[in-house]
Every structure is written in C-alpha cells, then in structure tokens.
Amino acid sequence: MGKVHPHLWFHDRAEGAAQFYVSVIPGSQITSVTRAPSGVPDVPEGAAFVVQLALDGVPFTFLNAGPAFTLDEAYSMYLECDSQDEVDRYWDLLVADGGEHSQCGWLRDRFGVSWQVVPKGIDDYVMGSDPERAARAMAAMMGMTRLDLAGLRAAYEGA
C-alpha cells in the first residue's frame, strides 16, 4: 500500500512556512528542498519548488506553484496541547506577524494555513456523556477565539 501524507500548495512561501513550522513544533525537521529548474510556471529558477518536511514526525510536502490555488479553512492543522500554557504559547506564535484569530480555537497563520490549537481534554467537555453539560461547554466554545480549558470546564460544570 502507498503512503498517505498532506501536500499543501503555496504561492511562493513554502520554504519560509516550513522553516517557521519546524522552529515552532518540537520534533520537526525539513528533510529536503528541491529547487525549481527553468521553465516551471510561476516559480523562478532556483527558488524552492518542493519542500519535504516532518512536523512532529508526520511527513508533509509543501509546493510553491503560484497563485492558481489558495489555502483555506477546509484544511487545517490540528495541534493538541498538554496545557493551557501550551495553547497560549502556540497560539501567540502562530498568529504573530500577520496571522488571524478565528473562532473555536481556529486561527490562520501568516502563510495562510489554518490551525486548530486545542487543549487536551476538550472532548471530555464538548462531547461529554451528559448532553446538557456538553451543550453548555459547546456554547461556551462557540463564543471563544483562543480556547480556554478552564472556561470550558466551568461551563460544563454549570459555574
């Protein structure tokens, strides 16, 4: 069976995005950069064309291929965090320098990639076994930008 991994199309910033992500996500590395030969549409000769990387051990391919396609929220990176401090740290790093806050723990970074920055344990609240409590937590989450695990817990518990 073949191997499946994400392949993201960038206009011209695949290498910069890869460098940024491996600096932010521990256990990550760029594994290869293929430079564009002459004649590749929308990519200058010698510029990064295909960037192979692993984010936390997951392989990705980033492609610089011009403006024909753009990234959107239909695809997002899901980053599960061990603590609220970790959620806050990653959130701040990922929205820095031109990123955009969104709703329910989603953001778009400066490269146009959408991320869900999620605290571990969120499912215990928004998908909890008690439908009424879970509905309160879900309603609280819908009003959040950056997720706040203590706020979700309080909503779940009716506080």
Task: Count Cβ atoms below 10 Å from residue 32 Cβ, excluding itself.
Answer: 9
What are the structure tokens assigned to 79, written together? 């980053």
Domain with CATH 3.30.720.100 in the chain: 1-66
Domain with CATH 3.10.180.10 in the chain: 75-159
User: What does 118-145 look like in DSSP terms, one character per residue?
Assistant: EETTHHHHHT-SSHHHHHHHHHHHHT-S
Domain boundaries 1-66, CATH class:
alpha beta
C-alpha–C-alpha distance, residues 29 and 22, integer Å: 5
In DSSP terms, 78 is beta-bridged to: 116
pLDDT digits (tens, 9 = 90+) for 61-74: 999 999 999 999 99
What backbone phi and psi angles, to 5 degrees, belong to 16? -60, -40
Domain 75-159 belongs to what architecture? Answer: Roll (3.10)
pLDDT digits (tens, 9 = 90+) for 58-110: 999 999 999 999 999 999 999 999 999 999 999 999 999 999 999 999 999 99
C-alpha–C-alpha distance, residues 98 and 61, integer Å: 23
C-alpha–C-alpha distance, residues 86 and 106, integer Å: 15
pTM: 0.93
In DSSP terms, 80 is beta-bridged to: 118
SS3 at position 37 = coil
pLDDT digits (tens, 9 = 90+) for 29-67: 999 999 999 999 999 999 999 999 999 999 999 999 999
User: Which residue is associated with the tokens 């069976």?
Assistant: 1
